């Protein structure tokens, strides 16, 4: 019978043989079919050649810790499947002539690899876009000409990256600096608008158009007195009246400087209109609000709700989606809200989740058919310390080291854990 060892015993037996799993910060695990008589202490048993219930083991999946474990397997099995780091297996496979490579990366690992492949380009575009929008907003603030072609080029590159892998841009858009809220907010709204437009079936030209709408929807805020725009606390009624003028001021600026599609100025003017006619500045009712303005209005609200400000912490994505859902049909278009929730998902890429075993994970990608079971990278242990990252797909039955099925306990706010997402992406992307 194979029983669960104490933590000290596990630590001691892990020293029997270095399986290579601990050597790399990033691991890509593969399963190897290996005869029982070629097993080595320290290997992770992932699967048997018969049902688990036919073998007297306590857990499904366990580290091979001593001779007793070997003897038990030898009685019941001809071969088993062990799980090893892919790179490490390449260095030792010559020692196991009868072993067979069973499978390559899992779908979850492939999702991680796809994300890694796109991140360098996405990060370059993201950084350039951040710098461009800051320069653009400074130009608006000083009433100078803005570089329209540069803005169009950057939006076009964002479209290209999102079409390649929207999760990469979503990850990057989770990096937030409260001191640069307006510029980063404009960029995040642009990115999400492009991704949403893709889901809605927009053409490439339409994606660039709505991306530009998102990028420039708040340019009028640069005409608002900084003591109101950057106030570290809630606005008074009089201050809010001044703040609401940014929609008109943005519209005027874009019309005066030209070079943009008419729709860009219209969205700057109407993105705070609401379908019940209680928005601003014109109190337009639903049929008079354009689709692009309705879309940007939803995304603008979502990003504002989930972002940390000097006077409050942002809410978790699930909480923000709950607010949008509650306000569908009054503030926001019902069909567009429901489609936006479908796109973002309960657990959007780049968001943090707490697992039922106390570990913390970061969402890599959603599973289209099972929105409640995304692909996740586990990065923190139950004590909040960084652990060896592993990638899991919750649509599969995957177990932690205590043989407990991985499952999400709850979504987390960005500020809930001491994680520098920018450093994490740079170190792992």
Question: What is the pLDDT, as a whole number, of residue 422?
Answer: 62
Q: Mean pLDDT, to the nearest integer, of 390-411? A: 86
Question: What is the pLDDT, as a whole number, of residue 12?
Answer: 38
pLDDT of 404 > 90? The answer is no
pLDDT of 5 > 70? The answer is no
Q: Mean pLDDT, to the nearest integer, of 244-263? A: 90
Question: What is the sign, positive or negative, of the torsion defined by CA atoms of 395, 397, 399, 403?
Answer: positive
Q: Mean pLDDT, to the nearest integer, of 302-311? A: 84
Residue 108 φ then ψ, to 5°: -65, -40
Question: What is the pLDDT, as a whole number, of residue 58?
Answer: 59
In angstroms, the Cα distances linking 351 to 312, 364, 413 are: 19, 8, 8
Backbone dihedral region for residue 45 (phi beyond 0: left; psi -120 to 50: alpha; all else: beta): beta
Question: What is the sign, positive or negative, of the torsion defined by CA atoms of 385, 390, 395, 400?
Answer: negative
Confirm if 234 and 311 have CB atoms less than 8 A apart.
yes
pLDDT of 27 > 70? The answer is no
Model confidence at 242, in pLDDT bands (50, 70, 90)?
very high
Lowest mean pLDDT of 63-72, 219-228, 277-286, 406-415, name the range: 63-72
Lowest mean pLDDT of 134-138, 234-238, 247-251, 364-368, name the range: 364-368
pLDDT > 70: what percent of the chain? 85
pLDDT of 164 > 50? The answer is yes
pLDDT of 292 > 80? The answer is yes
What is d(CA 72, CA 56) in angstroms, rounded to the nearest whole number? Answer: 8
Higher pLDDT, 24 or 119: 119
pLDDT of 333 > 70? The answer is yes
Instruction: Look at residues 409, 373, 147 and name the one whose alpha carbon lies nearest to residue 260.
Output: 147
Place of tokens 């001593």: 66
Name the most confidently modeled range: 32-41, 133-142, 153-162, 261-270.
Answer: 261-270
Question: What is the pLDDT, as a whole number, of residue 426?
Answer: 55
pLDDT of 222 > 70? The answer is yes
Q: What digits encode the pLDDT tens for the residues 312-331?
A: 788 888 899 999 999 999 99
Model confidence at 178, in pLDDT bands (50, 70, 90)?
low
CA within 13 Å, CB half, 211: 26
Q: Tell me the pTM.
A: 0.70
pLDDT of 260 > 90? The answer is no
Question: What is the pLDDT, as a whole number, of residue 60?
Answer: 59
């Amino acid at each position: 019978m194979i029983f669960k060892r104490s933590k000290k015993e596990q630590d001691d037996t892990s020293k029997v043989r270095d399986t290579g799993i601990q050597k790399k910060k990033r691991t890509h695990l593969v399963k190897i079919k290996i005869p029982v008589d070629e097993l080595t202490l320290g290997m992770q048993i992932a699967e048997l050649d018969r049902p688990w219930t036919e073998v007297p083991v306590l857990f499904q999946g366990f580290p091979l810790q001593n001779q007793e474990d070997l003897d038990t397997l030898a009685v019941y099995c001809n071969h088993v499947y062990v799980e090893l780091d892919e790179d490490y297996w390449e260095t030792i496979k010559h020692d196991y002539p009868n072993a067979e490579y069973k499978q390559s990366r899992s779908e979850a690992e492939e999702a991680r690899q796809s994300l890694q492949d796109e991140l360098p380009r996405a990060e370059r575009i993201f950084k350039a876009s951040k710098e461009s929008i800051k320069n653009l907003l400074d130009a608006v603030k000083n009433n100078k000409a803005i570089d329209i072609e540069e803005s169009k080029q950057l939006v076009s590159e964002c479209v290209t990256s999102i079409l390649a892998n929207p999760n990469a841009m979503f990850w990057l858009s989770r990096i937030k600096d409260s001191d640069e809220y307006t510029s980063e907010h404009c960029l995040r709204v642009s990115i999400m608008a492009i991704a949403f437009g893709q889901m809605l079936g927009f053409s490439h030209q339409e994606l660039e158009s709505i991306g530009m709408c998102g990028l420039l929807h708040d340019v009028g805020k640069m005409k608002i007195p900084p003591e109101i725009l950057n106030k570290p606390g809630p606005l008074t009624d009089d201050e809010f009246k001044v703040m609401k003028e940014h929609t008109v001021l943005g519209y005027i600026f874009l019309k005066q400087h030209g070079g943009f599609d008419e729709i860009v100025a219209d969205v700057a003017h109407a993105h705070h209109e609401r379908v019940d006619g209680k928005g601003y500045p014109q109190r337009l009712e639903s049929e008079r609000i354009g689709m692009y303005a309705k879309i940007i209005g939803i995304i603008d609200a979502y990003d504002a709700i989930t972002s940390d400000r000097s006077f409050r912490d942002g809410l978790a994505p699930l909480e923000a989606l709950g607010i949008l859902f509650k306000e569908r049909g009054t503030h926001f278009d019902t069909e567009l809200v429901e489609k936006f929730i479908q796109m973002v998902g309960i657990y959007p890429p780049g968001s943090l989740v707490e697992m039922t075993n106390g570990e913390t994970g970061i969402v890599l990608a959603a599973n289209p058919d099972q929105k409640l079971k995304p692909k996740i990278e586990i990065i923190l242990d139950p004590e909040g310390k960084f652990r060896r990252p592993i990638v899991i797909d919750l649509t599969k039955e995957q177990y932690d080291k205590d043989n407990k099925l991985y499952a999400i306990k709850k979504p987390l706010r960005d500020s809930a854990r001491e994680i520098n997402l920018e450093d994490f992406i740079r170190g792992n992307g």
